C-alpha cells in the first residue's frame, strides 16, 4: 500500500509562505530555529590560534572567523593611534558584515588599546586578552612569578598596572622571549622546534628567581609551545611549575556570553552542524595555503579532517 503525501509542509520556508506571515512574524519564528553560533577572533598574526584552540575544545559546533592582520605584523611596533585606526575604522566593518555573535580580540597589545572604542561601535560583546598575571598571583605558593613575553609587551605600562592591581604581594620577573614567537611559527609550519632556545629561555626565568612556581605565557603564540615548555621544565626537575595563559579563561567567558544569548543547547556538540573555521588574512593573497596549514596544525588534536577549514585574502 502506498500513499501520495504532500511534503511541502516539511519545509519551514514553504510553511511560512502558505501561512502568509508578516515579515515581523517570520523574523520571530526564524529566531526560534537553532543557529550555529558564530565567533570572530582577531589577532595581528597567528598567535591567536592558541585562543582558537581553546575555544574549539569548548565549542565543537561553532563557526569561527579568524582575522589575521599579518600585513601590519607585529602590532608591538605600531603606535597606539595606528592600531586604534586599523581596528576601529578598517577592520570593524568586516566584523559587522559577517554578523558574528561576539568578537575576541586575541592580541595583548590591541586589547589594551581598542576595547572601549570597539565596544562602543559594535553591537556585539567584545572580549579582550591580557597576560594572566591575576591568575598566577592567586595560584602561586611562593609568590614568585615569571612573565615570558615579547619585549614590546614587557615594556608596556599596562603590565605595571596588572602587577600593581593583582600581584602586589608577588615578585614578578619579566623575561623577554621574542625567539619563542618565531619558534611557534616554525611549529605551525610543521617544522622542527628549536628545543635549545626554549631551554635557554626557561633557564633565564630561573636565573632571575629560583623560587618561581608559576610562569605566565604573556604572548598568545607561546601556549602553542606548551608541550615543549613543559618538557624543558621537567628535564630541569621543575615539573611542579605552572604554565598559565589566558586561553581557558577566555573560552569560559565566551561560553558564558553565548549562554546568555540562548545558544546553550548548541555549545557542546548537540548541533547537527560540524565546526567551521574561516581564516581571513591581509598580507598576501598567495598565503591561503600557509594559513590553512597553520590552522590545521594548531587544531591537529581536534581537526581530524572533519572540520571545514578555509582561508581567504582580505585586502585592506
DSSP string, 193-232: P-HHHHHHHHHHHHHH-TT--EEEE-STTGGGGHHHHHHH
The pLDDT assigned to 74 comes to 84
Average pLDDT over residues 306-316: 87
Residue 217: closest CA among 45, 51, 57: 51
User: pTM for the full model?
Assistant: 0.84
The pLDDT assigned to 305 comes to 56
Task: Give the CATH number, domain containing residue 139.
Answer: 3.40.50.1860
Q: Are residues 137 and 99 in the same domain?
A: no
Q: Are residues 214 and 71 in the same domain?
A: no
Read off the pLDDT of residues 1-49 as tens digits, 9 standing for 90 and up. 444 444 444 444 444 455 565 656 545 544 554 568 899 999 999 999 9
Q: Are residues 219 and 282 in the same domain?
A: no
CB 44 within 8 A of CB 105: no
Helices (H), the chain: 12-19, 23-30, 49-58, 80-85, 92-97, 108-121, 133-139, 151-155, 157-166, 179-188, 195-208, 226-235, 247-260, 288-298
The single residue of 54, 107, 170, 295 carrying the catalytic annotation is: 107
Per-residue pLDDT at 238 exceeds 90: yes
CA atoms within 13 A on the CB side of 43: 19
Q: Is the dihedral of CA 197, 198, 202, 205 positive or negative?
A: positive
Reported residue count of the chain is: 316
- Whether residue 32 is contained in a domain is answered as no
Render the burial of 24-60: b for 16+ CB within 10 Å, e for the rest: eeeeeeeeeeeebbbbbbbbbbbbbbbbbbbbbebbb
End-to-end CA distance of the chain: 63
The single residue of 62, 170, 214, 219 carrying the catalytic annotation is: 219
Average pLDDT over residues 274-281: 89
Domain extent, residue 200, equals 133-245
Average pLDDT over residues 48-59: 92
Q: Are residues 143 and 219 in the same domain?
A: yes
The pLDDT assigned to 5 comes to 42
Per-residue pLDDT at 215 exceeds 50: yes
Per-residue pLDDT at 78 exceeds 70: yes
- Whether residue 201 is contained in a domain is answered as yes
The pLDDT assigned to 16 comes to 46
Read off the pLDDT of residues 135-191 as tens digits, 9 standing for 90 and up. 999 999 999 999 999 998 898 899 999 999 999 999 999 999 999 999 998 999 889
Q: Are residues 61 and 139 in the same domain?
A: no
Q: Is 107 a catalytic residue?
A: yes
Read off the pLDDT of residues 104-129 as tens digits, 9 standing for 90 and up. 999 988 998 999 999 999 999 999 99
Per-residue pLDDT at 266 exceeds 60: no
- Whether residue 202 is contained in a domain is answered as yes
Average pLDDT over residues 66-93: 90
Residue 130: closest CA among 49, 246, 247, 255: 246
Q: How many Å apart are CA 291 and CA 309, to the nearest integer?
A: 10
Whether the upstream peptide bond of residue 74 has omega within 30° of 0, thus cis, is yes
Q: Is 10 a catalytic residue?
A: no
Amino acid at each position: 500500500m502506498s500513499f501520495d503525501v504532500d511534503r511541502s509542509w516539511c519545509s519551514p520556508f514553504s510553511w511560512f509562505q502558505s501561512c502568509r506571515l508578516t515579515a515581523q512574524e517570520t523574523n520571530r519564528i526564524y529566531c526560534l530555529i537553532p543557529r550555529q553560533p558564530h565567533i570572530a577572533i582577531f589577532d595581528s598574526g597567528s598567535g591567536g590560534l592558541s585562543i582558537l584552540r581553546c575555544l574549539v575544545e569548548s565549542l565543537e559546533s561553532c563557526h569561527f572567523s579568524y582575522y589575521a592582520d599579518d600585513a601590519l605584523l607585529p602590532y608591538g611596533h605600531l603606535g597606539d593611534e595606528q592600531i586604534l585606526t586599523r581596528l576601529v575604522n578598517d577592520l570593524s566593518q568586516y566584523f559587522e558584515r559577517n554578523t558574528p555573535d561576539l568578537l575576541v580580540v586575541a592580541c595583548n597589545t590591541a586589547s589594551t588599546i581598542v576595547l572601549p572604542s570597539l565596544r562602543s561601535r559594535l553591537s556585539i560583546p567584545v572580549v579582550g586578552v591580557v597576560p594572566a598575571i591575576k591568575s598566577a598571583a592567586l595560584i602561586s605558593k611562593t609568590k614568585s612569578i615569571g612573565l615570558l613575553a615579547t619585549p614590546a609587551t614587557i615594556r608596556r605600562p599596562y603590565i605595571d598596572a596588572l602587577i600593581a592591581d593583582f600581584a602586589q604581594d608577588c615578585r614578578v620577573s619579566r623575561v623577554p622571549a621574542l625567539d619563542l614567537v618565531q619558534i611557534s611559527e616554525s611549529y605551525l609550519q610543521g617544522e622542527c622546534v628549536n628545543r635549545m632556545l626554549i631551554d635557554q629561555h626557561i633557564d633565564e626565568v630561573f636565573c632571575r628567581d629560583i623560587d618561581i612556581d608559576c610562569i605566565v605565557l604573556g604572548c598568545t603564540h607561546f601556549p602553542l609551545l606548551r608541550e615543549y615548555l613543559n618538557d624543558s621544565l621537567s628535564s630541569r626537575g621543575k615539573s611542579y611549575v605552572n604554565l598559565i595563559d589566558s586561553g581557558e579563561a577566555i573560552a569560559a567567558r565566551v561560553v558564558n556570553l553565548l549562554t546568555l544569548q540562548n545558544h546553550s543547547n548548541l555549545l557542546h556538540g548537540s548541533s547537527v552542524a560540524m565546526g567551521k573555521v574561516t581564516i581571513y588574512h591581509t598580507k598576501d593573497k598567495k598565503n591561503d595555503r600557509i594559513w590553512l596549514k597553520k590552522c590545521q596544525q594548531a587544531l591537529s588534536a581536534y581537526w581530524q579532517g572533519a572540520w571545514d577549514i578555509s582561508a581567504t585574502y582580505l585586502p585592506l
